[in-house]
Amino acid sequence: MHKRRGFTLVELLVVIAIIALLMGILMPVLQMARRQAKSVVCTSNVRQIGLGANLYAEAWDLYIPRGKGGGTGEAWYQLFMPYLAQTPIGKDYRSVKIYRCPGYPDKAQTVCYVVNGWTFRDKSDIEGREIQEPTKLTACRRPVFTIYLADNESGPWRHIIRKADDPGTNRCDVWNPGHLPSSDSHDITRGRRVARARHRKGSNCLYLDWHVEWVAAEDMTIDMWRFEK
């Protein structure tokens, strides 16, 4: 006769403790990998938008939209749509994935980026204003250092856009110091619009030479948004 031998209570507790320890080690690693994967998808989206913006500029004598579609009545994301690989169903942008950052908290948001709609009186102007007219790319003297597009901030003061005619299409641009990630303002017009901590305490940015670069929130300055430096 052989006696059946099971696990003792102490052995079970040891196994549970080991599993808990491993989970404690693996969970942060898995979460980090998930965040990195979302950032990679976002970077790919921004690159595709850059390709669309470049094609748009080539078709329109090197002019690109700034604020509310550069005065056309359409927002930048509507104007770029014919030059991208995806199209909305009617005016519903929920079928378009290029404008979506997977790291955006509210999955109903279809426009997860904001465009450079900022113009300045001169080099000493640190306030600036919104520009409605399109701008020629040649007006930018240092495109490699000038941001054209960045991650859109999330929050109750930011509009959720599902369709082309939803409210807030005129607030998908950056043209005020309060829009930068260093701002704590939640004002609907002058509050923060560039994401402060979407990806590793910063945001992915598209520059006017069409390269994509991550910028820490604390390092983003007004000068990065000046066309004429």
User: Tokens 């998908």, residue?
Assistant: 172
User: Tokens 């005129």, residue?
Assistant: 170
Single pTM value for the model: 0.83
Query: What pLDDT was estimated at residue 70?
Result: 53
Return d(Cα 183, Cα 196) in angstroms, integer. Answer: 9
Query: What pLDDT was estimated at residue 103?
Result: 93
Query: What pLDDT was estimated at residue 205?
Result: 97
Return d(Cα 96, Cα 170) in angstroms, integer. Answer: 19
Give the neighbor-by-neighbor strand order of the sheet with 173-174.
173-174, 113-116, 147-151, 202-207, 212-216
Kindly give the confidence (pLDDT) of every residue in the chain, 229 residues in length, as a single tens digit, with 9 standing for 90 and above: 555 566 677 777 778 888 877 777 767 756 666 777 788 899 999 999 999 999 999 999 999 999 875 556 788 988 998 898 877 777 777 778 899 999 999 999 999 999 999 999 998 999 999 998 899 999 998 999 999 999 999 999 999 998 877 888 889 999 999 999 999 999 999 999 999 999 989 999 999 999 999 999 999 999 999 988 6
Query: What pLDDT was estimated at residue 202?
Result: 95
Q: How far is CA 130 from CA 143, 147, 149, 214, in A?
A: 19, 15, 15, 24
User: Tokens 């965040």, residue?
Assistant: 35
Half-sphere exposure of 205 (CA within 13 A, CB side): 29
- Residue 198 exposed, middle or buried by CB count within 10 Å (0-12, 13-18, 19+): buried
Query: What pLDDT was estimated at residue 13?
Result: 78
User: Tokens 């948004």, residue?
Assistant: 225
- Buried b / exposed e over 99-138, threshold 16 CB at 10 Å, is bbbbbbeeeebbbbbbbbbbbbeeeeeeebebbbebbebe
User: Tokens 């020629």, residue?
Assistant: 136
Query: What pLDDT was estimated at residue 7?
Result: 64
Query: What pLDDT was estimated at residue 129?
Result: 94
Query: What pLDDT was estimated at residue 69?
Result: 55
